[in-house]
A = this chain, B = another copy of it.
């Protein structure tokens, strides 16, 4: 390809295809297999569109969609870090920073900085758009775990306190959805899927 700028962009897009092979701990709603991080990111985008009315009115909706689209790309090298594994969480930042250097570095220089900044914005959790994207990320996992009959909660013996802590960004940023979260956790606690 003659144009090195376009060549870098295409190389990045082809490399990004690997996110479809990174498996999360959450199953699909029919429990047929684990979800991968690419289709998960799409599901967040759909949730951002459908649940937009529960976010603060001044949220930049384009930014939220950009954030959810790129937020997991570093997993191509760093893998998916399980939310309830303290050991994995400890090394997460270093692994993901090295991954960001390589993956976003495939893009032309100026664009690499801009796209990487989306990932950094999501990670920093300082903007309202990053907080909405993060709250949707937590909610989507809850919906799939519930739909699949318990999902990673049962498989990995997660406690009610751990889940409540994990879901707190929803209470903070999408408070209208918090009763649904509590109701779901109560239901799976009562059924014995979620440990006390």
Contact = CB atoms under 8 A, between A and B. Distances in A.
Interface in A9-59: 9-10, 12-14, 16-21, 28-30, 32, 35-36, 38-39, 41-43, 45-47, 49-51
A144 interface: yes
A28 B38 CA distance: 12
Contact of A70 (B30, B49, B179): B49
Interface stretch (A60-68, A80-88, A89-97, A155-163): A60-68
Nearest to A183: B1
A38 B43 contact: yes
27 contacts: A6-B177, A9-B51, A13-B46, A13-B50, A14-B143, A14-B147, A16-B46, A17-B30, A17-B147, A18-B29, A18-B30, A19-B39, A19-B42, A20-B28, A20-B35, A20-B43, A21-B28, A21-B30, A42-B42, A42-B69, A46-B70, A49-B69, A49-B70, A50-B107, A61-B62, A65-B65, A65-B66
Nearest to A54: B6
B69 A46 contact: yes
Tell me what chain A mostly uses at the interface: helix, strand, loop, or mixed. Answer: helix
Interface residues on A, range: 35 or more
Interface of A: 1-2, 6, 9-10, 12-14, 16-21, 28-30, 32, 35-36, 38-39, 41-43, 45-47, 49-51, 61-62, 65-66, 69-70, 107, 111, 115, 140, 143-144, 147, 176-177, 179-180, 183
Contact of A17 (B2, B70, B144): B144
A116 to B, nearest CB: 12
Nearest to A51: B9
A49 B115 contact: yes
Contact of A50 (B38, B115, B183): B115
Contact of A12 (B21, B39, B50, B176): B50
